[in-house]
Amino acid sequence: MINFSVLISVYQKERPEYLRLALESIWDHQTLKPSEIVLVCDGPLTGELDREIEWFSRKAPLKIVRLPKNEGLGNALKKGLAICSNELVARMDSDDIAVPVRFEKQIRFMEENPGICISGSNIAEFIETTSNICSYRRLPSTSEEIVRFAKKRNPLNHVTVIFRKSAVIDAGNYMAFHGYEDYYLWIRMLQNHAAISNIPENLVYARIGNNMYSRRRGLKLFIQELKLLRQLVRIQFLSQGEFCRNLFFRAFPRLLPVSGIKLIYRILHK
């Protein structure tokens, strides 16, 4: 079986118990274990987080990258990817939980489909425990469907992806783009003619909080959304008509009250 890396970023506001569960899910409980786990500490961490990392390093092939200050997810992943020694790299968030067969299925898929540059899966969103599933995010599977979908919404669940390192670097690697580091990368990969796919299964439990909806609204998010849409027009991924449609359906809803965000989110996830 081919070797692969797992890339994770963590910063000081993460909860130590969530980090432990995430790390256990990608090592202790996997039917296929990674050959290395690259953990980027994005700025100084708390003592509790450092102790969890030290504990985990005693049993798993952990590579730790410590950044002197918090640089944000895009820069952290860019620097972490440079440390990954394998061509196949899987992403994982520091508070989510991978299902035990995640890597086995994804590695097999990438081996059987050498033309695919990046692949993700569906997610099951939960609050506190994986027995409390509140929603699912299901995405199109084929490259053709994904290209059309990407004109409107993020076509991959970032926490589920596995990609070929060379294809990510060829597209310019991760960049600093707060809240949209992954979406912007996928678009650039699509423009670079990278084939993208999704496995139509829930391979990751994604943790969400009770304040999920309030975190998806606000002036700052509206401004970032507008910035993204303008950039996608600039690189000719979106037409002016598509920009206007997304401005109405994606950006302006960020300014709605929480009740409005809840309604839109439920409609989109039907």
The residues spanned by each domain of the chain are 5-207, 214-268
Cα distance between residue 8 and residue 40, in whole Å: 6
For 118, other C-beta atoms within 10 Å of its C-beta total 26
Cβ pair 106, 198 in contact under 8 A: no
CATH of 5-207, one of 1.10.1740.10, 3.40.50.620, 3.90.550.10, 3.40.50.20: 3.90.550.10
Beta-carbon contacts of 105 under 8 Å, excluding residues fewer than 6 positions away, are 199, 201, 203
Q: Which of 26-35, 105-114, 209-218 has the lowest mean pLDDT?
A: 209-218
Condensed to tens digits (0 to 9), the pLDDT of residues 167-208 reads 999 999 999 998 899 999 999 999 999 999 999 999 999 998
At 49 the pLDDT is 97
At 256 the pLDDT is 63
At 223 the pLDDT is 87
Sign for the pseudo-dihedral over CA of 55, 88, 82, 98: negative
C-alpha gyration radius of the chain: 18
Instruction: Give mean pLDDT, residues 229-258.
Output: 84
User: What single letter denotes the amino acid at residue 133?
Assistant: I
Taking 80 as the threshold, does the pLDDT of residue 240 lie above it? yes
Beta-carbon contacts of 68 under 8 Å, excluding residues fewer than 6 positions away, are 43, 44
pLDDT band for position 213 (cuts 50, 70, 90): very low
Taking 50 as the threshold, does the pLDDT of residue 214 lie above it? no
Nearest to 217 by CA among 175, 150, 265: 265
At 112 the pLDDT is 97
Q: Report the relative pairing of strands 36-42 and 62-67 from DSSP bridges.
A: parallel
Cβ pair 58, 23 in contact under 8 A: no
Cβ pair 207, 129 in contact under 8 A: no
3-state secondary structure of 231: helix
At 246 the pLDDT is 87
At 257 the pLDDT is 66
Cβ pair 19, 95 in contact under 8 A: yes
